[in-house]
Amino acid sequence: YKSGNNTETFAVKVNPDNTTMPTVKYSTSDPSIATVVADSTDNSQVIITPKKPGKFILTVETTDGSNLKLSAEVEVVQLVEHISLNTTEKILFLEDGQTVTYQLIATALPTNATVLSNQDKFIWSSSDDTIATVNNKGLVTAVSPGTTIITVKANDVGGISATCIIHVSNNKIIFSTII
């Protein structure tokens, strides 16, 4: 989930297909993590409103006297909502016989995002590995002259990312001011 007031709706299916959907009620084992209610227009839909990250048991029970019950564990995760990098553009100068690297540092918000507790919290990539590569910790290595874009993406379903333009040059240009 993302911060703010959001809900997710899920369908409950009864088998076989020609069975009439019985009246059901929904419950949660931990209402501090999420609340659950039936959709007022469609009893086969459950509306889940997340409150905080955590796991709870969602239970669906028939109310028609058939005493059918189904439970499933549901996990509420806090998605990354923003990523920033220590720089958005960098020039790396190749030097003969030396490996030239630059450490990109990603910061994600909110700080309680579930993925931030994982070892592989970010996915790093280069748009052109022939110019510069990036490892899984954000270390950029210059390969040959040119420009590439390094992207860091949160390793969750939210799709939030940030980019840095990397220019690799084999010519050091020194600027001076003439007064």
Give tens-digit pLDDT for 65-105. Answer: 888 888 999 988 888 999 999 999 999 999 888 899 999 99
Select from 3, 32, 8 the least CA-distant residue to 109. 3
Residue 31 pLDDT grade (very low, low, confident, very high; cuts 50, 70, 90): very high
Mean residue pLDDT of the chain comes to: 87
pLDDT of residue 16: 66
Q: Does residue 174 register a pLDDT over 60?
A: no
First to last CA, the chain: 58
Q: Does residue 113 register a pLDDT over 80?
A: yes
The 3-state secondary structure of 28-89, one letter per residue = ECCCCCEEEEEECCEEEEEEEEECCCEEEEEEEEECCCCCCEEEEEEEECCCCCEEEECCCE
Q: Does residue 14 register a pLDDT over 70?
A: no
